[in-house]
Amino acid sequence: MTTIEITGLTKTFGPVAAVSDLTFTVQPGLVTGFLGPNGAGKTTTLRMLLGLVTPTSGTATFGGVAYHDLSRPLSTVGTALEASSFHPGRSARNHLRVYAIAAGIPLERVDASLAQVGIAEYADRRVGGFSLGMRQRLGLAFALLGDPPVLVLDEPINGLDPEGIRWMRQLLTALAAEGRTVLVSSHLLSEVEQSVDRVVIISRGRLVHEGTLAELEAGSRVSVDAPDRAALAAALTAAGATVDAKEDGIQVSALSAAEIGAIAHRAGVALSLLRPEQAGLENVFLDLVGDSNEGSGS
Amino acid sequence: MSSFDNAIRAEFAKILTVRMWWVLLIILVGYIAFLAVLIGAIFGGLADQLEAQGAPAIPAATLPPLVYSTASSIGYVFPVLFGALAATSELQHKTLTPTFLANPRRLVVLGAKVIALATVGLVYGIGALLGSVAPGAAVIALTGGDPGLDVSDTWALFGRILIAMTLWAVVGVGLGTLLRSQVLSIVVVLVFTQFLEPILRVGASVWEWTASVGKFLPGAASDALVGASVFTMMGGSGGGPTVQLDWWQGGLVLLAIAAALTLIGYLVTWRKDVT
């Protein structure tokens, strides 16, 4: 199976560093979320990975081979980059046919891919008349064309309706379950948190977190309260937690609910409330990327 | 070289799966047929009257090449336009992304595109020749002239017209790759071929030293390659017979222009980051 390895990847546009010394790996058999606000350098990173943009320094490889040197690129890495790379006058089937021919992929794969993404009935329609959701699916059909062990998808959920989002999540999970390496970018954690196993988070071109969502959540907040609030606060503070007393309880950072329960138990404080914050993950994400304006969009 | 073979077949698929190629071909054939009939009728039909009035008439032997060569002397704008549109289409619709994903060897892709479009240029040449020869020969015959279709020189002319049309399509690919923008390419092709170059060629024929430069203009080189054109008939009376290149020199100049434009396009556009 094929691992994506990104090592010291850097891209500068004049004086501006779009991506700085980025290093991470993407493992097979998992869905990895590649997260960061718009402008964080996600797309530039993916385009360097795919040989479309030349890095200023650093390397990006698939199982040790750069994209440019892959002998059968579309059969090794399937890519959906943006929903607008189509000639509007070409039908969906012909769009895929062109690239299947170029990559030496059997033409049976064209209809198979269209069926897999659920747009077989629109195969002979010109792409110019497609909705954003249909274009997303056609982009995904292009990615699946070579039945590749690696999938790199840029914002695949963008423009899908709720039913389409559910379908996409199931597809991503299924693809990873088949042992494929799946890298999915998004600027919204909430969009992918249900389907990703690992996350790579970047902000302003730099890596800020690489790991599982559970590790990320370990840093999130928990609401806790007790009839004897002062005793609880003292016990938590003594245990080294950051405590923020509010009207309706205490906000605790950097401890899990289980750890807080244990601390309260040892201190002999009866709890009246112990609740991991629902918005915790998103808040941690926003704290990490240091841009609280992000994530307000739908 | 199966990768190159696939690349060429993919470029043909790109061309054939969009309507543009046959729409332009139909317009080309119709336009050239119209002009061939018009020119054949004017110079063939009025030859007697022109002679009667003492006006300079065209010798009977030069009328058929004049009529037939409208295929390239006027039709060349079609392959150059199609070549430029095919190249800029990739940038316009951002299809360079899937193109380079399917085949990251960019020089191979550009080479395949040149070969595919040169073939389209050849097909356009055949279409334009059918447009100029079929009705043109009929009009010449009807007006009492000799269509000259049994003369080997006429068929050599056809061959040179096909070479010119093929090269023009490659000029278009180079131009489109260089200019990047579809609208800009159309404007540049039309302004240069229909307006700027004709003026430059007439202007250049005034002095001897400008004429020696003017003969390297792409249209002049193309007319030299073909060896006959409405333009050289009209412009030739002023500049004298020595301002034109030999046919093979004209061909090499046109080839050099096509190669230079494509190479520059490769360097300034094709190799660059695709964002």
Inspect the interface and report whether the beta carbons of A104 and B3 lie closer than 8 Å. Answer: yes
Chain A's closest residue to B96, CA to CA, is A85
pLDDT over 80 (residue A169): yes
Yes or no, beta carbons of B19 and A89 under 8 Å apart: yes
Which of B2, B19, B94 lies closest to A85 in CB terms?
A: B94
Compare CB distances from B98 to A44, A67, A142 and report the shortest one's residue: A142
Cβ distance of A99 and B98 shorter than 8 Å:
yes
Q: Do B104 and A68 touch (CB under 8 A)?
A: yes
Choose the mutation target among A71, A76, A101 for the interface with B, i.e. most B CBs under 10 Å: A101
Cβ neighbours of B17 in A, within 8 Å: 90-91, 94-95, 97-98
- pLDDT confidence of A103, banded at 50, 70, 90? very high
Query: What is the C-alpha separation between B176 and B170, in angstroms, rounded?
Result: 10
- Identify all chain B residues contacting A73, using CB atoms and an 8 Å cutoff: 101-104
Whether the CB of A106 is below 8 Å from some CB of chain B: the reply is: no
**Cβ contacts of B7 on chain A, cutoff 8 Å:** 102
CB contact under 8 A, B94 and A50: no
d(CA B127, CA B31): 11
Residues of B in contact with A87 (CB under 8 A): 14, 18, 89, 93, 95
pLDDT at B134: 95
Sign (positive or negative) of CA dihedral B174, B180, B182, B185: negative
Distance CA A10, CA A23 (A): 10
Of A74, A84, A90, nearest to B102 by CB-CB distance is A74
Interchain contact A102–B (C-beta under 8 A):
yes
Q: Which residue of B has its CA nearest to A49?
A: B101
Hey, are the CB atoms on B102 and A99 less than 8 Å from each other?
Answer: yes
This model of the complex carries an ipTM of 0.89
Q: Which of A35-44, A235-244, B203-212 has the highest mean pLDDT?
A: A35-44
pLDDT at A188: 85
Per-residue pLDDT band for A295 (boundaries 50, 70, 90) equals very low
| Residues in chain B, pLDDT under 50 | 235-242
Report the residue from A54, A87, A101 with minimal CB separation from B9.
A101
| pLDDT > 50? residue A144 | yes
Sorted by sequence, the CB contacts under 8 Å of residue B270 that are 6+ apart come out as B106, B107, B110, B177
Lowest mean pLDDT among A213-217, A248-252, B253-257: A213-217
Q: Using CB atoms, which residue from A52, A94, A103 is nearest to B103? A: A103
Has residue A74 got a pLDDT over 90? yes
In chain A, what residues touch B99 (CB-CB under 8 Å)? 99, 102
Check pLDDT > 60 for residue A54: yes
Length of chain B: 275
CB-nearest partner of A51 from B13, B99, B104? B104
Residue A287 has pLDDT above 80, yes or no: no
Ranges assigned E (strand) in chain A: 4-13, 16-26, 31-35, 57-62, 77-80, 150-154, 181-186, 198-203, 206-212, 222-225, 242-246, 249-253, 273-276
d(CA B58, CA B241): 16
Q: Can you tell me the distance from the alpha carbon of A165 to that of A278, in angstroms, rounded to the nearest whole number?
A: 21
Does B53 or A169 have the greater pLDDT score? A169
Reduced to 3 states (helix: H, G, I; strand: E, B; else coil), residue A3 is coil
Is the alpha carbon torsion for B260, B264, B266, B267 positive or negative?
Answer: positive
Q: Which residue has the higher pLDDT, A214 or B240?
A: A214
Q: Greater confidence, B57 or A13?
A: A13
Mark yes or no for CB contact A104/B9 under 8 Å: no
- Interface A-B: count of C-beta contacts within 8 A: 85
Tokens, residue A127: 């792409």
Share of chain A above pLDDT 90, in %: 59
Distance CA A133, CA A117 (A): 11
Would you call A89 and B3 a contact, using CB atoms and an 8 Å cutoff? Answer: no
Residues of A in contact with B89 (CB under 8 A): 87
Give the range among A156-160, A251-255, B173-177 with minimum mean pLDDT: A251-255
Mind telling me how many Å the CA of B5 is from chain A's nearest CA? 9
Residue A61 touches chain B, beta carbons under 8 Å = no
Q: What is the pLDDT of residue A291?
A: 54
The pLDDT assigned to A279 comes to 53
For chain B, the straight-line distance linking the first and the last C-alpha, in angstroms and rounded, comes to 29
| pLDDT at site A62 | 97
- The pLDDT value recorded for residue A280 is 62
The nearest CA of chain B is from the CA of A212 a distance in Å of 30
Whether A67 and B104 lie within 8 Å, measured CB to CB: yes
